[in-house]
Structure 1
Amino acid sequence: MKLKSNIILTALIIAFYTSPAHALRCKNGSLVLKGDTTFEVKASCGQPDDEEYVGSVKKGGKYVNVERYLYIPPKGQFLKIVEFHDGVVAEIINGSRVQ
């Protein structure tokens, strides 16, 4: 019985601390997903380490304002680039691994 509860506990810990490739896990444990707004991302993860306004880009037949946030995680993890289209998360990209 103890082995079974240890396995369940381990699975829960892994599920909590891992996030899908298309998500950003903030330092406080919050999860950022596609569809979140710039306000929600900053409220969850704080100020990004860098911000870049790309400009107005044609996507799917219409122009959208594209902005990118960069979050630098602890050593050994991947940089996270959050791309917004008109203020809404459109894509979360894994960058290089932090050395």
Structure 2
Amino acid sequence: MGQVPDDDEISLLNLASVLLRRGGLIILSTFAGALIALVPALRTPLEYTATTTFLPNAEGETGFGGAAGLAQQFGFALPRSGGFERNSLFYQ
């Protein structure tokens, strides 16, 4: 490479000269790595997965969950939410 100064610091001039001398190898390595990563990415078929879960509301359940039960213990009444209507079309 070059001579290292006595104080173990690398000058920008030394760094630039190494990059210029090895520039072809750096560019070639970059393109080879990109090609190695690109080939499997393009050959793999696209796959999309979606999942869903339906949880119908229980009778008498409020929209506040456990907070409604806790409030009722202390004499407070929270409003009930309408929720989803139980329709047979919903489950088909």
TM-score (structure 1 length as normaliser): 0.22
TM-score (structure 2 length as normaliser): 0.23
Structure (1 or 2) with the greater strand fraction? 1
Structure having the higher Rg = 2
